[in-house]
């Protein structure tokens, strides 16, 4: 895969200093991506419409257009490495968008960033979730009478690994939206807050939102752990979680 191959796949044209093409990281109708090549064969990309370099590279990789072994410039890597993707499906189990989890190391420690992307209809991706926000694992939510609501996708997967139905919202602690509440109609809802102030603020927002729709709403505090994933990692079992539920009362 060389520079010309990448540019041609993006409907590019030759320019004085390299190539100009449509940026794969956004809906680009007017070619805004410049591609150049260094003397040692390194491909350089820049979106003049404002997309971050890491977003452009991730979009190229998703299309199979990024050269194997090509390294990113750490100084321009604003998001870090893509370590996980979470599929958000609609009621018909069609993929609406993914949430991508990026991680990088800084002097302050590990930082994580989440970015949504959706299919572009041509085998690639566009950044953004589109016109509709969905709950994670929505089809499973609709099939189960008892649903856990932790804060993140990783926590949902932790619960699912023990056989529980679980869901969450995109956007983290500030991402709960009113249109999510209707999906909990007639269900028993167990909210699992992250053990920090934003986590408890979100738990209150979720509880208030679903209260008039759900059959029951319970908030379960997991003392000594940041979240349900860490709680399981500490050696607690699914049976212990069920017992904890029996120890709290419905509001």
- Residue 208 to residue 176: CA distance in whole angstroms: 11
| Per-residue b or e along 195-205, where b marks 16 or more CB atoms closer than 10 Å to that residue's CB | beeebeebbeb
Q: What is the pLDDT, as a whole number, of residue 102?
A: 85
Higher pLDDT, 117 or 70: 117
User: Are 61 and 53 within 8 A, CB to CB?
Assistant: no
Q: What is the pLDDT, as a whole number, of residue 153?
A: 95
pLDDT, the chain, mean: 87
Residues 123 and 51 in one domain: no
Task: Give a yes or no: residue 133 inside a domain.
Answer: no
Q: What is the pLDDT, as a whole number, of residue 72?
A: 45
Residues 60 and 11 in one domain: yes
Q: What range does the domain containing 119 cover?
A: 81-127
- Residue 222 to residue 230: CA distance in whole angstroms: 10
Which of 38, 56, 74 is the last residue before a domain boundary? 74
- The whole-number average pLDDT for the span 25-32 is 86
Residues 150 and 214 in one domain: yes
The number of folded domains in the chain is 3
Residues 65 and 142 in one domain: no
Measured between its terminal Cα atoms, the distance across the chain in Å is 61
- The whole-number average pLDDT for the span 144-149 is 97
Residues 175 and 203 in one domain: yes
Task: Give a yes or no: residue 132 inside a domain.
Answer: no
- Residue 216 to residue 190: CA distance in whole angstroms: 8
Residues 155 and 214 in one domain: yes
CATH code (residue 151): 3.40.1360.10
- Per residue in 78-114, pLDDT (tens digit) is 677 788 899 999 999 999 999 998 887 777 777 888 8
Residues 229 and 149 in one domain: yes
Residues 45 and 119 in one domain: no
Q: What is the 3-state secondary structure (H, E, C) of 113-170?
A: EEEEEEECCCCCEEECCCCCCCCCCHHHHHHCCEEEECCCHHHHHHHHHCCCCECCCC
Residues 200 and 231 in one domain: yes
- Per residue in 177-203, pLDDT (tens digit) is 999 999 999 999 999 999 999 999 999
């Amino acid at each position: 895969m060389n520079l010309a191959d990448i540019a041609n796949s993006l409907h590019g044209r030759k320019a004085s200093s390299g190539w100009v093409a449509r940026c794969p990281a956004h809906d680009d109708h007017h070619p805004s991506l410049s591609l150049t090549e260094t003397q040692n064969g390194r491909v350089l990309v820049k979106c003049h419409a404002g997309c971050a370099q890491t977003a452009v590279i991730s979009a190229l990789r998703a299309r199979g257009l990024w050269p194997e072994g090509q390294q990113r410039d750490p100084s321009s890597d604003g998001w870090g490495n893509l370590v996980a993707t979470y599929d958000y499906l609609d009621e018909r189990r069609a993929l609406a968008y993914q949430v991508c989890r990026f991680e990088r190391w800084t002097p302050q420690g590990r930082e994580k960033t989440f970015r949504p992307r959706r299919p572009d209809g041509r085998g690639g991706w566009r950044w953004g979730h589109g016109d509709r926000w969905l709950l994670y694992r929505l089809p499973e939510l609709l099939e189960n009478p008892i649903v856990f609501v932790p804060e993140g996708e990783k926590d949902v997967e932790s619960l699912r690994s023990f056989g529980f139905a679980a869901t969450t919202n995109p956007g983290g602690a500030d991402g709960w939206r009113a249109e999510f509440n209707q999906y909990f109609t007639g269900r028993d809802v167990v909210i699992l807050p992250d053990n920090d102030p934003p986590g408890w603020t979100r738990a209150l927002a979720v509880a208030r939102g679903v209260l008039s729709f759900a059959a029951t709403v319970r908030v379960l505090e997991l003392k000594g752990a940041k979240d349900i994933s860490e709680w399981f990692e500490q050696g607690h079992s699914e049976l212990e979680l069920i017992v904890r539920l029996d120890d709290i009362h419905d509001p």
